[in-house]
Amino acid sequence: MTKHSLPNAASTIDCFKMIFPEADPQALAAYSEMMLPLFEFEVPDSGGMTPFSSESEIYCLPDVTVSRARATASRFTRTVRTIARSATDDILVVCYTSGHFTYRIGDKTRRVEQGELAFFDLSQEIVIEAPSVENISLAIQRRKLERAIPLLDSAHGLVVRPGALSRILIGIMEHTMEMGPAIQSPHASPIAEAMILLVKSCLETISHSKVTPDIQGSTVSLASVKAAIERRLTDPDLGVQALLEEFGMTRSTLYRAFEPLGGVTAYITERRLRHAFRRMTDPSEKNLRVSNMAFELGFAHASTFTRSFKALFGLTPKDVRTLAIRPAGKDIPFPVSPEAIPYIHPLVPRHIES
């Protein structure tokens, strides 16, 4: 049964419930297959002998997905290969309503407590582990945030302590899940926009850092220089000289600002490669010619682009283009493997608003 076969359901949002019971010996394998487009899943050692089980709901609004999950001990790993395969670069906002979890990004590990908001960029690698899962989360399409937050990549691993903004955001998420399939489609967009606005406000802190003074004695924001780089990634003239002219700063000031990031040129190259990765995993750009994009991004030769790309991601552009997984069925609006489909059920509206 699909949403479109339910009475009056065509005017409401898509909502699904997923139940993987511990009594089902196939549940763990099916859940792992369901998660594979986004994360490689496994039961960590902390799970002990407890049988695996999971129950979750997902609510699909325009540009936003709200979900709730409860599960036994879990480890979710997102690698470069998983990123390429999932064809998504959403921003994920996670809040544990009970217990805690830890995440690892590179060599950095952090514990996130109940009530804190954690932000993850799904275009980057991460490992998330919890002794038990009870959370609510929000996935937002990147394009809804990146214009307002030019340093969006820096949000990866950001943790926001409980406060007015985070509590109001969590409250809207909880009310959305409470109403679920009773939310009519015309009401879904303003609800989604309210959540996006609150997320933007939570992320504004990453754009406020100041760096060394320029020769005029004013200050140059590292965020503004990075934002200029993001705007000009496809500009063949982007480089050190272009930035010096745009910001009227000295070469030594610019070099000092980017020294912790590996240097200006290296930073620009990495940003261009990450931009290329996202475009190659975007389903709407399936006809993209990699060689043309390489030239647009300032690489003189496609072979140079390929070598740099593989050095950063461990995969060639061809590898990335062939890894994408698409949804298994048109009635489920998110990527899911055939093995998991029997565990996924549409939620029926208990009440339709007048």
Q: What single string gives the DSSP state of each residue in 75-110?
A: EEEE-HHHHHHHT---EEEEEESSSEEEEEETTEEE
In a domain, 27, yes or no: yes
Residues 260 and 292 in one domain: yes
- Residue 119: both structure tokens together: 């932000």
Total domains in the chain come to 2
8 A C-beta contact, residue 133 and residue 70: yes
CATH of the domain at 194: 2.60.120.10
For residue 332, what pLDDT is reported?
A: 59
In a domain, 278, yes or no: yes
Residues 198 and 232 in one domain: no
8 A C-beta contact, residue 122 and residue 155: no
Residues 29 and 152 in one domain: yes
d(CA 141, CA 103): 22
pTM over 0.85: no
Cα 11–Cα 13–Cα 18 angle in degrees, nearest 5: 135
In a domain, 90, yes or no: yes
Q: Buried b / exposed e across 185-204, counting CB within 10 Å, b at 16+?
A: eebbeebbeebbebbbebbe
In a domain, 220, yes or no: yes
For residue 207, what pLDDT is reported?
A: 58
Q: Which domain holds residue 14?
A: 3-206+327-346
In a domain, 353, yes or no: no
Residues 22 and 137 in one domain: yes
For residue 131, what pLDDT is reported?
A: 95
Cα 91–Cα 96–Cα 99 angle in degrees, nearest 5: 150
Residues 314 and 336 in one domain: no
In a domain, 352, yes or no: no
pLDDT per residue, tens digit, the chain (354 aa), is: 334 343 444 588 889 999 999 999 999 999 998 888 789 999 998 767 789 999 999 999 999 999 999 999 999 999 988 888 777 789 999 999 999 999 999 999 999 999 999 999 998 999 999 999 999 999 999 888 887 887 788 889 999 999 999 999 999 999 999 988 889 888 999 999 999 999 999 988 765 544 444 434 446 677 788 888 988 998 988 999 999 998 888 888 888 888 888 899 999 999 999 889 888 887 777 788 888 999 989 898 999 999 999 998 888 988 888 776 555 444 555 666 677 788 988 887 655 444
Residues 82 and 110 in one domain: yes
Residues 221 and 138 in one domain: no
d(CA 299, CA 264): 16
Residues 268 and 163 in one domain: no
In a domain, 351, yes or no: no
Residues 194 and 49 in one domain: yes
8 A C-beta contact, residue 257 and residue 212: yes
Largest Cα–Cα distance of the chain, in whole Å?
70
Reference 61, options 200, 201, 183, 197; nearest CA is 183
Residues 171 and 253 in one domain: no
8 A C-beta contact, residue 131 and residue 75: no
d(CA 77, CA 129): 9
Residues 222 and 288 in one domain: yes
Please give the single-letter amino acid code of residue 163: G
For residue 221, what pLDDT is reported?
A: 74
8 A C-beta contact, residue 22 and residue 52: yes
